[in-house]
Chain A
Amino acid sequence: MRKSTLMVTSLFAASALTVAWNTGQLTANNEILLLPVESTSNQAPTEVAAADPNSTSTATAEPTASASTPATSGSAAPAPTQTPTTPASPVAPPAPVTAQVSSDPITYKYGTVQISMTTVDGAITKIKMLQGDATNGRDSAYKTLIDATIQNQGTNYGNISGATFTVDAFKKAVDSALLKF
């Protein structure tokens, strides 16, 4: 290769790599793992209010999944719009109502996940693993996932690197449980 071509190519490659790296940093900052997506980023917050005009508790409890959901780190488990399903449960407002359901067993590559979910007034308060016999310690992710689900009142959080499939299966179990209320 001629020197001039080599120089132009290396310059191009270097600048492209820098730009790509910066872009990666930006997307990653918008998506800190297992933290709720900040509504300040770029989605319309109006969606939340418009969704359920009568039930304030559900509205605040369940941050609406929006277009800027994680998945940007190249995670295999994009957790986009669970919006319509989760808040659709028209729980009766009077007196604290405690409910408990079990999710469908979700079978995936590493095993089976089944949870039992307890809600008080439609807010998720407790999750127990009914089945979580995933192979070799992959179940260590469950505690983190349970905390994240309760904190976010849904599955609107990112991925655990290295446990992508388990996270995905767990989210499916949560969604399945929410549908049963």
Chain B
Amino acid sequence: MVLGSFKLLRLERKRDAVEVLGILAILAPTLAFLINGGLAAANDLASWFNAINRLTALVGTSLLLIHMILVARIPWLEQILGLDKLTHAHKRLGKPLLYLLLVHTITALISYSITDGVGVFTTLVNLIGGYTDLLLAFIGLVLMILVVVSSITAARRKLSYEAWYLIHLLSYISIFAAIPHQFSLGTEFLAEPLLAAYFIALYVFVGLNIVWFRFLYPIVRSLAMSLKVASVRPEANRTTSIVIGGRRIESLGAEAGQFFMLRVLTAKQWWRPHPFSVSASPNNTVRFTVGNRGDDTSLLQDIKAGTRVILEGPFGVFSESKRSKQHVLLLAAGIGVAPIRALAESLAAEPGDVTVVYRVTDRSNAALLDEVERICLERNHTLHILDGPRPDGPGFLPKQEASEKPAPEYARLIGLAPFTAESDIYICGPSAWSNAAVHALKKLNVPKASIHVEEFAW
């Protein structure tokens, strides 16, 4: 096990390199645009609009490709940034991307309408009437608006996951519909074969990665391993442990704390995968512990042994690969205990190195509690099980008794885990709870690189 500040530096460098790559992907076409005199050619209103139209088209296309690569689930990228961060970035990029493409469309229309001396609406009608490619692009834009609107938080609350998922699939059609006009009419691409070749290469790269890593690879591998549910065992607090077995399943190479996308091949559930953390991997199996929290997880509670499954992954950087310090603090709440339990079991540690804090509402009914207690006893980890009601405000520790002297949470955390500031900290639980914990850690000046949060709801 490699630890130390040099590892931390190496991890940071990798992360920076990927982010710089993203910036360069935006910068490159912008430079090409400027070098070709795209901005210098602008001398009146119409040509200014045209310049903006072309620049937003180039930057928008680059951003779209980045947007797609973020959810292509490419292993090397995922191992650097983590699937949750990638998905989060993908979410955040959605709206700016749409705005860019809208600006592109509107400035193009205005520019042409000034040149032609007719109204904007007439121009729109003429363009989409005169060019099949533009009609397609326009349909693509409408679909993209639909996809983005369906993804904003307010809409997500109202829409069912199924509806959102189906609408989101439209984005593939939207992207394909927009491609023809870029190459048949895009001034930049027609004039600069090199730039066109660059974008074609990017399109192909992103497309192949998506097709392979999102679709073909997990299916081919799972079928080859003939992955099946080996056994199902109900646990405390309405949770169930599902054990998956298969030929050479150990070659999946899942580390403790990582998770898989589990796709159960039954008539009802095959089309919707769900992320589950590996709670243990004994005897060449993979075990998930699933809480009964809603529609699909409740269906999973009575899954039959022998059901075929497809596993996609392993994903996540909530593992020892990001650890750089000797001391480790593990914070778990509720079903977030699953990856924490796996970490507690497998982290390289001497007695006393690891502190586990497990926040439960009810000690008698906490998932995997007996296992966590046994592991901590065997490996000499310090274990704090915190039960009791929630605090009135935001917070991750139980409400203080009236008799206790009131203390801020970070001070109470230091009392539980004195080495917190020099530890790697792994947090897994509901997002509000995790945020409160991160807040307390920031008060203790824990460096950001040492805090590892598994986003639980995304």
Contacts and interface: CB of A to CB of B under 8 A. Distances in A.
Interface string B10-38: 00100110011001000100111111111
Interface string A15-28: 01100110111011
Interface string B184-210: 000110111000000000000000000
B403 interface: no
A76 B187 contact: yes
B47 A5 contact: no
Interface string B307-322: 0000000000000000
A1 B16 contact: yes
B181 to A, nearest CB: 12
Contacts of B38: 24, 73-74
A89 B126 CA distance: 40
A135 B126 CA distance: 8
Nearest to A74: B36
A71 B191 contact: yes
B117 A140 contact: yes
A168 to B, nearest CB: 10
Contacts of B15: 1
Interface residues of B, number: 42
B46 interface: yes
Interface in A21-72: 21, 23-25, 27-29, 31, 33, 71-72
A72 B20 CA distance: 29
A16 B33 contact: no
A24 B41 CA distance: 9
Interface string B173-187: 000000000000001
Nearest to B38: A74
B362 interface: no
A181 to B, nearest CB: 31
Interface string A97-112: 0000000000001100
Nearest to B36: A74
A interface, over-half SS = loop
A24 B35 contact: yes
A125 B345 CA distance: 91
Interface stretch (B108-116, B217-225, B419-427): B108-116
A110 B112 CA distance: 13
A20 B35 contact: yes
A100 B115 CA distance: 31
B30 A138 contact: no
Nearest to A71: B191
B41 A161 contact: yes
A161 B111 CA distance: 9
Contact of A13 (B23, B32, B188): B23
A164 B65 CA distance: 28
A134 to B, nearest CB: 9
B33 A74 contact: yes
A137 interface: yes
Given A13-B27, A135-B126, A136-B116, A23 B35 contact: yes
A35 to B, nearest CB: 13
A179 interface: no
A24 B116 CA distance: 27
Contact of A137 (B30, B36, B117): B117
B31 A20 contact: yes
A17 B23 CA distance: 13
Interface of A: 1-2, 5, 9, 13, 16-17, 20-21, 23-25, 27-29, 31, 33, 71-76, 78, 109-110, 135-138, 140-141, 160-164
20 contacts: A1-B15, A5-B20, A16-B27, A17-B27, A17-B31, A23-B34, A23-B35, A25-B40, A27-B36, A27-B37, A72-B37, A74-B37, A74-B54, A75-B187, A135-B116, A136-B118, A140-B117, A161-B115, A162-B112, A163-B115
Given A13-B27, A27-B37, A160-B115, 13 more contacts: A9-B20, A16-B31, A17-B31, A27-B40, A33-B43, A73-B40, A74-B187, A136-B122, A137-B115, A140-B116, A161-B42, A162-B47, A163-B115
